[in-house]
């Protein structure tokens, strides 16, 4: 089921003058028509639609579609004593998304700040919130060269490879074991390969990653062991290698393809590749993205879009005229590629609200990267994604494994202790950022709010919108802009 209004395609604001010339509707004309529409609603006694998690949401658009997700931060959405804005953001996450990724809370710096010190408070809050709201979780991340606590940086200066393996094994058993059965996907590795440059080949980060540096003589063996340990600690989780600049066929994605092929040939449980997808509106998607997804599919692997955002040229906080459409197009194009690929199991945006999207703070003169404006209104990209999810037919089936629900929180299913560093028996072979957001400083707790009953647009109201689409199609863009707050399902 879907709401009729949200599936009306919003055309460009153009029409012909009767002489074959295309003209743009004046704002005064549009306002007059908007007032006419408003009067019609009032006189007929029909109201605009209210929020409906079940019919106007990215998470319920199509049961055959990949999981749609967002990054979350405890201090942004899950404070124990939330204000009104926090509650609104929380409700948005609850209603709009199938899967959530802790933006920081499972990184080493936050969850393992001391030698024998683990802090699960924030990570627990996110996992419990997801469980309460029937959502999945992406664990992020176990091996990265950023967000590493000071004790690791200091100790690793004298580590042998066996020391590095022992520390990582303890971390995996403790963290992955705690959430066993409750994590759908783990970014086991994050950005372990360098990017391409003219003077240096793509290689494993044995110079900047403390664990790979300690095992520089055998880094692939360390990575293989890591995947085995994670799989032993949580056999139900899908295990990914995650990185940026992996969307098209290029030198970096090919390096990951070859690495994955070698590891899987040796029976290492590498289940998928994650492409972060930090995109720009000024750069169209490469025409080899679908081909790249297909070659990983042919390896028997999944693909996940893990950190999607689309930066737009801006004047202050507003987009430069003409780039809104490109912003929408990038989101919609990548979603369609994901829908067409049976291997693509999820699409996650790296924060959906422009007040908090990481990408908006990375480059002066670019921003407006999320699906929602700073004032809390959904953008055309959101409606385009929702429309696509609701209307697409013939989506190929994808095999999505859901976590078990019979796991006792805090227990580990790993049969290996932290002191036993032998690699577990290889599984049946038939069987991949962004820098840290600000640290959490508040006390955290999980929260769940009850879902409100859906309210649908009455039939006459829907007819009125369809009539506007027929007699003045250019007006529908203004409907979204002017009446957007009333149609923003937050």
Q: Which residues are catalytic?
A: 307
Q: What CA–CA distance (Å, rounded) separates 188 from 129?
A: 22
Q: Which of 281, 276, 200, 265 is nearest to 240 (CA)?
A: 276
Q: DSSP alpha helices (H): ranges in 234-342?
A: 251-265, 289-298, 324-340
Backbone conformation region of residue 181, classed left if phi is above 0, alpha if psi is from -120 to 50, else beta? left
What own/partner pairs with CB < 8 Å and gap ≥ 24 does 389-393 have? 389/58, 389/61, 389/62, 389/65, 389/68, 389/335, 390/2, 390/6, 390/7, 390/61, 390/62, 391/2, 391/7, 392/62, 392/65, 392/336, 392/339
139: Cβ–Cβ under 8 A, 6 or more apart, which residues?
102, 106, 176, 179, 183, 185, 186, 187, 237
- HSE on the CB side for 282, CA within 13 Å? 11
Contact between residue 159 and residue 222 where contact means Cβ atoms under 8 Å apart: no
- Per-residue burial over 241-278, b if 16 or more Cβ lie within 10 Å, else e, is bbbbbbbbbbebbebbbebbeebbeebbbbbbbbbbbb
β pairing state of 366-367 and 302-315? antiparallel
Task: Check: CB of residue 282 under 8 Å from CB of residue 313.
Answer: yes
A 10 A CB-CB count for 97 gives 25
Count CB-CB contacts under 10 A for residue 415: 9
Question: In the beta sheet, which residues pair with residue 279?
Answer: 310
The alpha carbon of residue 348 and the mean position of all alpha carbons in its chain are separated, in whole angstroms, by 1
Whole-number Å distance between alpha carbons of 110 and 37: 52
Q: Which two tokens stand for residue 64?
A: 């055959």
Rounded Cα distance, 15 and 475, in Å: 10
> How far is the C-alpha of 211 from the C-alpha of 145, rounded, in Å?
9
């Amino acid at each position: 089921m879907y709401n009729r209004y949200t599936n009306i395609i919003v055309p460009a604001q153009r029409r012909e003058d009767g002489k074959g010339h295309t003209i743009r509707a004046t704002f005064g004309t549009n306002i007059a028509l908007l007032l006419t529409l408003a009067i019609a609603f009032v006189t007929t006694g029909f109201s605009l639609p209210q929020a409906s998690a079940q019919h106007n949401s990215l998470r319920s658009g199509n049961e055959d579609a990949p999981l749609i997700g967002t990054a979350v931060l405890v201090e942004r959405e899950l404070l124990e004593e939330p204000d009104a804005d926090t509650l609104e953001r929380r409700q948005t996450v609850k209603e709009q998304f199938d899967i959530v990724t802790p933006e920081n809370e499972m990184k080493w710096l936050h969850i393992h700040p001391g030698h024998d010190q683990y802090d699960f408070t924030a990570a627990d809050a996110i996992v419990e919130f997801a469980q309460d709201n029937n959502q999945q979780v992406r664990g992020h991340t176990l091996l990265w060269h950023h967000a590493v606590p000071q004790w690791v940086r200091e100790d690793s200066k004298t580590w042998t490879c066996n020391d590095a393996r022992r520390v990582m094994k303890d971390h995996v058993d403790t963290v992955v074991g705690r959430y066993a059965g409750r994590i759908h996907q783990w970014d086991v590795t994050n950005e372990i390969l360098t990017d391409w440059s003219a003077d240096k080949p793509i290689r494993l980060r044995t110079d900047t990653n403390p664990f790979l540096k300690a095992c520089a003589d055998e880094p692939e063996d360390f990575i293989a062991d890591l995947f085995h340990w994670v799989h032993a600690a949580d056999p139900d989780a899908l295990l990914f290698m995650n990185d940026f600049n992996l969307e098209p066929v290029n030198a970096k994605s090919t390096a990951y393809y070859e690495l994955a092929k070698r590891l899987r040939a040796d029976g290492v449980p590498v289940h998928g590749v994650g492409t972060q997808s930090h995109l720009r509106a000024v750069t169209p998607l490469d025409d080899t993205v679908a081909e790249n997804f297909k070659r990983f599919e042919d390896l028997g692997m999944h693909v996940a879009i893990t950190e999607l955002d689309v930066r737009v040229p801006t004047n202050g906080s507003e987009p430069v005229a003409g780039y809104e459409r490109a912003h929408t197009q990038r989101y919609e194009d990548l979603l369609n590629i994901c829908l067409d690929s049976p291997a693509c199991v999820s699409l996650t945006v790296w924060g959906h609200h422009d007040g908090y999207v990481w990408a908006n703070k990375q480059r002066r003169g670019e921003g407006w990267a999320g699906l929602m404006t700073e004032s809390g209104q959904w953008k055309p990209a959101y409606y385009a994604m929702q429309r696509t999810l609701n209307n697409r037919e013939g989506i190929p089936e994808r095999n999505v494994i859901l976590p078990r629900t019979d796991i006792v929180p805090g227990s580990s299913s790993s049969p290996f202790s932290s002191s036993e560093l032998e690699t577990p028996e290889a599984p049946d072979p038939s069987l991949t950022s962004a820098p840290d957001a600000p640290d959490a400083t508040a006390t955290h707790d999980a929260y769940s709010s009850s879902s409100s009953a859906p309210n649908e647009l009455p039939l006459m109201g829907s007819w009125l919108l369809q009539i506007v689409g027929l007699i003045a199609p250019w007006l529908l863009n203004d409907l979204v802009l002017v009446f957007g707050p009333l149609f923003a399902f937050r």
